Amino acid sequence: MNTATDNGLDIAANQFAQQFGLLACQLGAPAAARRACMRAAQQLIRAQARGDLCIWVEKLLGGEFTTLAGLRAALLESALVCDGRDDDAELRPLVLDADGRLYLARYYAFERRIAHGIAALARARRLTMISGGPGTGKTTAVMKMLAEALAHTPALRVALAAPTGKAAQRMLDALAAHAARLPAALAKRLPQQAFTLHRLLRAHAMLPYDWVIVDEASMLDSALAAQLLGALAPQSRLILLGDPNQLAAVNAGAVFAELAAPAACIEDLHPCITVLTRNYRFGSDSVIGQLAQAVCDGRARDALATLPYDTTAIRPGQTDGASLFWIDDIQNLSISALEYLAAGFEPYIAALADTVRGASSTPDPAPLFDALNRYRALAAVRFGPRGVDALNAMLAAHVRIHVHGSGMASDELWFAGRPVMIARNDYALGLFNGDTGIALPARDGMRVFFQTPDGGARAFSPMILPPHETAFALTVHKSQGTEFERIAFVLPAANAPEDLTARPLTRELVYTAITRARQSITILGAPDVFAQAIEARTMRMQGLAARLREIMDA
């Protein structure tokens, strides 16, 4: 685990616990009750950092608290804990539910609001969940539904949305492709834009749509899902598309995976869920498909068996019809591995050289975006010699030298061809988390170009961009919601825990990385690291299914 991250979490957890202790003291709680609350607050902050909404109260046992009954009594005596039966505004800071889940009140409230919203939609059959992996036809299915609905109700108001700008754009592209097969009159009724969820919710207190379609719903955290459900108009239909086997949201909660899980098959909810299993992209003979399924099932031995165990790197583009490659590269990336990663950007470098040579006052970034979106390096971690930061530094230097020569300073931040990914929404500029731009020289200096839905581009001065980062290489988390023809996936070094970030290497992360590739993927790493990741499953602690059952039973 990254030491700085871990120390920061310790400090935050301890400060939060001290605040709870002070509040309990002000309310006259006995000393044991204060200590119980401080321990609970500390553990809940750690749980939130892991993406959990709650903890089992038994986790607090130990020391002076030797029995569950004594621990419960101490917590309830603090005046900071309630059983969750009150309205949101009346909840105490901590909630202990009937099953023994302990929450911070805000997360319990999020979970309960989600459950009420989902239950209301399911009972009125205004909820549709389409679950399946990449290539199973989720988008095609919903587009057919939409076309049929618009044919019968021309005035149907529809919003397309996704958690990131890139995922929203991909959804709009899929809609445009489907529109080409429809009668012209019907195609004109299709939505002409897609939103990030943050932008959509920021624009409307109550969403004025009959249908709200959300792609990449596996990325919905509890806070965002609660906000979305609370903003739906009474007549709205909510359609969620997602893959429960992908990475969950960065923030706390895994709403889609919990709702789609077999354990959550509540009678009123089950008819609203469609699970797609046939893969149209990866057939039964596809080694990428076989690898993805083995990873998804947790079959590490079968996953390793699909990998062509060959230490000879094949240059991207010279695949001889193969689609899966393995480079056994264990510690610091070897020279041959680095050369392999850099070679994937040769088409991008060629397109960039053409653009720079034919530079005009308004350069055309379209060929560069086409080349960039065909190949990308992904890494499981951010720090260390095999992390995204190191890869981006190496790849940026490679592109600078091949396009600009050795005369450019190696630490030059902005150079023609630098791709960047936006890391924070900026509503004033209309730039959103996940949007990708490319720096190019223009008449008034260096500008960063971003594609628009109609195929054009918008240009911004680098100085006014919201927080961003170089994007030759991406973390797997940042790549979610995107696809590329070819992927190079760099695993962390074996036996090097200092290279790992706070988020562990898991089955879901490996599966997400593999399924970003449409045609081929190369994995660079050690077999034991790969196998251990497949065997480590993400299990987020939450109680959404329990909240739903409570509501349905009531």
Query: Residues marked as binding for ATP?
Result: 132-139
What whole-number distance in Å separates Cα of residue 430 and Cα of residue 408? 32
Q: Give the strand order in the sheet containing 211-214.
A: 194-196, 158-162, 211-214, 237-242, 127-131, 273-275
Evaluate whether 172 touches 228 at the Cβ level (below 8 Å). Answer: no
Evaluate whether 105 touches 55 at the Cβ level (below 8 Å). Answer: no
Q: Please, where are the H alpha helices in 344-380?
A: 346-357, 366-372
Look-up of token digits 């750690």: 46
Evaluate whether 413 touches 400 at the Cβ level (below 8 Å). Answer: no
C-alpha gyration radius of the chain: 25
Paired tokens of 240: 């969620």
Which positions ≥6 away from 289 have C-beta within 8 Å? 135, 279, 281, 282, 283
Provide the annotated binding site: 132-139
Characterize 404-431 residue by residue with b for buried, 16 or more Cβ atoms within 10 angstroms of its Cβ, and e for exposed: beeeeeeeeeebbbbbbbbeebbeeeeb
List Cβ<8 Å contacts ≥24 apart for 334-338: 337/313, 337/524, 338/394
Which positions ≥6 away from 65 have C-beta within 8 Å? 36, 39, 71, 74
* Angle at CA of residue 291, ends 287 and 294, nearest 5°: 140
Q: Map residue 81 onto helix, strand or coil.
A: strand
What whole-number distance in Å separates Cα of residue 122 and Cα of residue 271? 8
Helix axis angle, 31-50 to 3-26, nearest 10°:
150
Evaluate whether 470 touches 396 at the Cβ level (below 8 Å). Answer: yes
Look-up of token digits 């607050």: 41
Which residues is 130 bridged to in the sheet?
A: 241, 274
Length of the chain: 554
Which positions ≥6 away from 3 have C-beta within 8 Å? 498
For the chain, the distance separating the N- and C-terminal CA atoms, rounded to the nearest angstrom, is: 44
What whole-number distance in Å separates Cα of residue 325 and Cα of residue 288? 10
